[in-house]
Chain A
Amino acid sequence: MKEILRVENIHKQFEGLEVLKGVSLTVNQGEVVAILGPSGSGKTTLLRCMNFLERADSGCLTMDGETFDLGRITKKELARLRRKTAFVFQNYNLFLNKTALQNVTQGLTVARKMPRAQAEEIGMAMLEKVGLADRAGYYPHQLSGGQQQRVAIARALATDPEVIYFDEPTSALDPELIGEVLGVIQQLAAEGRTMLVVTHEMRFARNVSTHTLFMEGGVVVEEGPTKEVFDHPRQERTKAFLQGQEESRA
């Protein structure tokens, strides 16, 4: 299996508060990694550091065989690296002044200078994939939360990234809208997309992810194939967390 992404020893602190205390992880092509953990454990910060929305204090990131020092990465390297990734936010962050289709094509026409016709063809195909081709001309405020998040996923797909990061993609949604978004992510998993998904949806993590990583207090407590982590957690903390989730759902 081809390794696509490796992170080694990421450290990050906010004004003295140590949020990531040396996190490492490896992702192979086609894997779907679920990142679980209690609130405040540093999951969002980890994803943000990996995509440079937050600057890590130190650590290394290897993408596609090329290694970058996160502490002193240059703007140029950063831009190059970002082109291989995409990010789906908890609160969608669709461009408010752009239609659904323009949201999807923006990364192609503006950032990659692709001709518009070609970009729109790709854009429509991506909207089709998330079941929103008929909403291409709608602005974000004309779409439901679930639809907005699906457009955001189409936007992430448009640039054909090596890895897609999801930060709690369904936690801002009404319960009845969660399913449609998880359905799309599941479909992507089936197509072999490499994804890192921070989530509180245990059933989804269990059924869709290939690997699971449990974080607490800024460190990875446990990681492994999803089935093993869920069925035979080795760490007491993982056990307690999974049990707690089980109960809160019941």
Chain B
Amino acid sequence: MLLAGIKVTIPLTIISFSIAMVIAVVVALVQLANIRGLKQLARFYIWVVRGTPLMVQLFIVFYGLPNLGLVIDPFPCAVVVFSLNEGAYCAETMRAAIQSVPQGQIEAGYCVGMNYLQIMWHIVLPQAFRTAFPPLSNSLIGMVKDTSLAANITVTEMLMTTQRIVAYYYEALVLYCEVALVYLLFCTVLTWVQRWGENRLDITRRKGAQA
């Protein structure tokens, strides 16, 4: 029963977050590369997404767009909204992380003959990801819980599944606590993964020069 929800919640989170990361990197780079027009577009996107509630965004895409003849199934619709929403927040995280990479790294890249994209890909982004890892993990954990909002657009994720069972058995307290525990479990696992990841990233940074 809750398993059905798990089958939706986890893929929804993973797929959406993966797309969000791609959006985040592209939007961050577009802003920093100072491409006219595109940069304004990126700012506008972040402004709108961060300035409106996630729930409203879900409703607009799911219930609103059909008025324009655009009907999307619940699950893909949730993926689109969560990706776009998370992408905007992560773009700001990535932008700050990229800007924290010293200018000298970029200059050294140019001096060995690399071009802008090569420098970004091989030098700057790997370093930026290391800086951005903790805040991005935070966003991911937040997102796991936000996926419960998808119940509002009829995605049968965990919360929706629970609601249905509650309607049948009237055991609200027990069942909602149970679903809360499942969320807690997911987030705990993610926290472990985060810690493990941070340690790994640290190894390349701190491993002493004893050898």
Contact = CB atoms under 8 A, between A and B. Distances in A.
A139 B201 CA distance: 13
B105 A93 contact: yes
Given A93-B104, A141-B205, A159-B112, 16 more contacts: A53-B107, A82-B111, A86-B112, A87-B107, A89-B108, A91-B104, A93-B108, A106-B114, A106-B123, A107-B112, A110-B114, A111-B114, A112-B113, A139-B204, A142-B208, A159-B113
B105 A82 contact: no
A95 B114 CA distance: 13
A142 B209 contact: yes
Interface in A20-53: 51-53
Interface in A111-156: 111-112, 138-139, 141-143, 155
B126 A51 contact: no
B205 A106 contact: no
Name the prevailing secondary structure of the A interface residues. Answer: loop
A154 to B, nearest CB: 11
B207 A94 contact: no
A143 B209 CA distance: 7
B106 to A, nearest CB: 9
A138 B115 contact: no
Interface of B: 102, 104-105, 107-115, 118, 122-123, 126-127, 130, 204-209
A82 B118 CA distance: 15
B113 A82 contact: yes
Q: Output the residue of A94, A112, A142 with the most chain B CB within 10 A.
A: A142
Interface of A: 51-53, 79, 82-83, 85-87, 89, 91, 93-98, 106-107, 110-112, 138-139, 141-143, 155, 158-159
Given A93-B105, A95-B105, A97-B127, A141 B206 contact: yes
Contacts of B209: 138, 142-143
10 contacts: A52-B110, A82-B110, A83-B113, A85-B111, A95-B122, A97-B123, A97-B126, A98-B123, A106-B122, A106-B123
Contacts of A83: 113
Nearest to A48: B107
Contacts of B111: 51, 53, 82, 85-87
B126 A142 contact: no
Contacts of A139: 204-205, 207
B29 to A, nearest CB: 17
